[in-house]
Amino acid sequence: MNPTRAAWIFLAPALLVLGLFFLLPVIAALLLSLTDYDLYALANLHNLRFVALGNYWELLHRPLFWSALGHTFYFVIVGVPLSIATSLGAALLLNSPLARMKSFFRTALFAPVVTTVVATAVIWRYLFNTKYGWANYFLQSVGIHPIDWLGDPHWAMPTIILFAVWKNFGYNMIIFLAGLQAIPMDLYEAARIDGASIRRQFQHITLPMLKPTLVMVAILTVAGYFQLFAEPYVMTEGGPLQSTTSVLYLMYEEGFKWWNLGSASAVAFLLFVIMFVVTAVLLRVSQRGDEA
């Protein structure tokens, strides 16, 4: 057996799986989004009609789509910087030569990452219970009025963001920690001899050296946060008053509750296009920064 034939035999299982269960469905999704595939078509394919961009046109005229998009952007725009800042802060603390018991702290801070979203979302639902939750008990003990965390449309999304930050910051913390450890110590040594303060060291050494890591982390986190689904599903069921209905939640309801698979595919594709554009813009902006 020559290496070329061996290579294709080795590749075959993986490519078959990815082709059949990923590539093919993605292409099919594009076609599906151009049809009115619904419950009737599910029963009998003769009821299927080609509607061209009809689904997209309708979506763009549906207030629920725009509000779902708005909620998703809210989650991304507030959640991502908050998550990254928390991750970076934790990594800086862990990287400090003054920190004790580093491996314990690292494990403790990372633990939420490996837990199951559904299970921890259930925990948070009770911690943020209006009447008996610890969150309000704590607020009241410092003299702040209790908040209806998950029942108030203004507070539900912030509560979910708080949850997401708690759940996810450990992941990027590990990546930042590796990035920080890769910065040569002599750079700081030289800066200290020149009398640079800690803050200036951070500004002129840490941040520039960490920039490639930051860009990558930002892009991955943005992509992840656009896929908000399990949190609202478990914590709020998209409510109250649909204030936590995300794009994927809308896709799920449209597709698997109402069985409008055509229109749901259009939702999925619009999300994909939006994510793609946002990622491309982020990349472009970070590269322009490099040239300057």
269 touches another protein (CB under 8 A): yes
Judged by CB under 8 A, the stretch of 56-64, 65-73, 152-160, 261-269 that binds another protein is: 261-269
Nearer to another protein, 56 or 171 (CB): 171
Judged by CB under 8 A, the stretch of 69-77, 168-176, 203-211, 238-246 that binds another protein is: 168-176
**Distance separating alpha carbons of residues 153 and 158, to the nearest angstrom:** 10
230 touches another protein (CB under 8 A): yes
Nearer to another protein, 57 or 126 (CB): 126
111 touches another protein (CB under 8 A): yes
Q: Map residues 76-105 to x or -, x wherever contact with another protein holds by CB under 8 A.
A: --------------x--xx-x-xxx---xx
183 touches another protein (CB under 8 A): no
Task: List, in order, residues 6 or more apart from 210 with CB less than 8 Å away.
Answer: 176, 179, 180, 183
22 touches another protein (CB under 8 A): yes
Across 113-130, b (16+ Cβ under 10 Å) vs e yields eeeebeebbeebbebbbe
| The one among 147, 160, 161, 251 contacting another protein by CB under 8 A | 251
286 touches another protein (CB under 8 A): no
Nearer to another protein, 76 or 234 (CB): 234
Judged by CB under 8 A, the stretch of 48-56, 113-121, 187-195, 283-291 that binds another protein is: 113-121
| The one among 6, 241, 281, 283 contacting another protein by CB under 8 A | 6
255 touches another protein (CB under 8 A): yes
196 touches another protein (CB under 8 A): no
264 touches another protein (CB under 8 A): yes
290 touches another protein (CB under 8 A): no
124 touches another protein (CB under 8 A): yes
222 touches another protein (CB under 8 A): no
Q: How far is the CB of 291 from another protein (least distance, A)?
A: 19
